[in-house]
């Protein structure tokens, strides 16, 4: 289906409605884009699956991070302290008029690379539970970006009602590593120790090379300026990843899945993780991804931990609440050729909280 400028304007309007309270700067930019067709139309430069407000905002943010647009940068909390107040819309419009060609080039060639390590706090209890069952595990992260989620066992964690430090439990207080806070509801199985990863591998269509400053900067550009704690987490994770690099292979989520699983399975029980990546595949490709996992699971024990939005991933088959637009953690297990699916938790998309058993 061909998208119209009106379709894209509605997408910006929906973003402003859904995220404006938690991200007021991007809410204002989205409202401006929705009201100005020439701005909404710029998203047509992006591939169909990437025509998202967040890609437009990241393209702009990337330019601000290298010093372009000082007038607009004054409104960004991560770039100016304190940020300017007032109506940022006209300033945004002037920036796009001046830098439109650069923004369009980024839209055409880049895709969102969030690599949000906060999601590790959601994955950790499930991964530890699998480890208790099967022993050593080998982790394959599909859509791994720079591979920061693969360092899951090297971060520190705190789980508590409301996310306050010192709550129901946590792991590691080592200085110099990112501390991930996660508010909890329900009986979250907080592990007493980190699971041991016997192997770790990433698979991504366009892996991020952390030795390339421009690629590393793109990870920061994809963060939301109203959430400064995420920038601190990213800086800590990048430092850790450069000191202890992990392998991320370039490849396709479906056609290269089997070779990656085969590679890690020699070291331990293979656990495939996906976190807000399969929404970028078409429904047909989502079905193909699940079919490939089913094929692999017929011949070996395998686990898939999926943190995705059901409404955006109808091809995954998690249909118990197919219209749900939040983030849901599912565990799909293949044991002796038999498949079992369990809904574990409803979660914040960046791992700030989880409601276990919801």
Question: Using one digit for the tens of pLDDT, what is the confidence trace for 131-140?
Answer: 999 999 999 9
Which H or E run includes 134? helix 120-134
Q: Of 80, 109, 138, which marks where a domain is finished?
A: 109
pTM summary value:
0.85
Same domain, 101 and 142: no
Same domain, 135 and 104: no
pLDDT for position 349? 87
Check: CB of residue 43 under 8 Å from CB of residue 29.
no
Lookup: tokens for 276:
């807000």
Same domain, 28 and 51: yes
Same domain, 245 and 351: yes
Q: Of 109, 134, 155, which marks where a domain is finished?
A: 109
The Cα angle at residue 60 between residues 56 and 65, in degrees rounded to 5: 140
pLDDT for position 88? 97
pLDDT one-digit tens code per residue, 202-217: 999 989 888 899 999 9
pLDDT for position 171? 67
Q: Residue 25: which domain range? A: 5-109
pLDDT for position 357? 92
Q: Of 77, 109, 141, which marks where a domain is finished?
A: 109
Low-confidence ranges of the chain (pLDDT < 50): 163-168
Cβ-Cβ contacts under 8 Å for 190 (sequence gap 6 or more): 125, 159, 168, 169, 170, 184
Number of domains in the chain: 2
Same domain, 90 and 149: no
Same domain, 94 and 131: no
Determine what percent of the chain falls in helix, strand and coil, rounding each to the nearest 5.
45, 20, 35
Same domain, 190 and 238: yes
Nearest partner of 327 among 289, 274, 287, judged by Cα: 274
Lookup: tokens for 114:
């969030």
In order of 84, 122, 190, 257, 323, the CA distances from 355 in angstroms are 36, 10, 13, 30, 18
């Amino acid at each position: 289906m061909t998208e119209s400028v009106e379709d894209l304007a509605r997408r910006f309007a929906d973003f402003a409605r859904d995220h404006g309270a938690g991200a007021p700067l991007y809410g204002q930019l989205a409202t401006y884009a929705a009201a100005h067709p020439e701005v909404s139309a710029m998203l047509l430069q992006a591939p169909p699956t990437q025509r998202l407000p967040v890609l437009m905002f990241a393209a702009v943010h990337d330019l601000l991070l290298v010093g372009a647009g000082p007038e607009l940068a004054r409104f960004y909390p991560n770039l100016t302290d304190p940020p300017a107040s007032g109506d940022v819309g006209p300033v945004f419009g002037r920036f796009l008029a001046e830098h439109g060609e650069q923004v369009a080039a980024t839209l055409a060639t880049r895709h969102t690379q969030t690599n949000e390590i906060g999601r590790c706090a959601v994955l950790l209890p499930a991964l530890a539970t699998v480890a208790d069952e099967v022993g050593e595990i080998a982790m394959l992260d599909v859509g791994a970006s720079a591979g920061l989620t693969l360092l899951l066992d090297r971060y520190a964690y705190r789980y508590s009602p409301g996310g306050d430090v010192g709550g129901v439990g946590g792991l590691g207080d080592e200085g110099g590593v990112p501390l991930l806070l996660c508010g909890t509801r329900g009986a979250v199985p907080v592990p007493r120790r980190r699971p041991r990863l016997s192997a770790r591998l990433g698979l991504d269509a366009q892996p991020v090379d952390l030795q390339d400053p421009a690629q590393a900067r793109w990870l920061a550009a994809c963060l939301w300026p109203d959430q400064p704690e995420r920038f601190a987490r990213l800086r800590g994770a990048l430092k850790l990843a450069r000191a202890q690099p992990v392998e991320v292979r370039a490849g396709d989520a479906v056609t290269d899945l089997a070779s990656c699983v085969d590679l890690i399975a020699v070291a331990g029980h293979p656990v495939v993780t996906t976190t807000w990546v399969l929404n970028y595949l078409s429904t047909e490709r989502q079905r193909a991804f699940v079919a490939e996992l089913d094929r692999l699971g017929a011949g070996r024990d395998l686990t898939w931990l999926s943190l995705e939005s059901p409404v955006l991933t109808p091809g995954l088959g998690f249909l118990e609440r197919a219209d749900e637009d939040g983030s849901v953690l599912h565990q799909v297990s293949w044991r002796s050729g038999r498949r079992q699916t369990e809904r574990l938790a409803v979660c914040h998309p960046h791992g700030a909280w989880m409601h276990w058993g919801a």
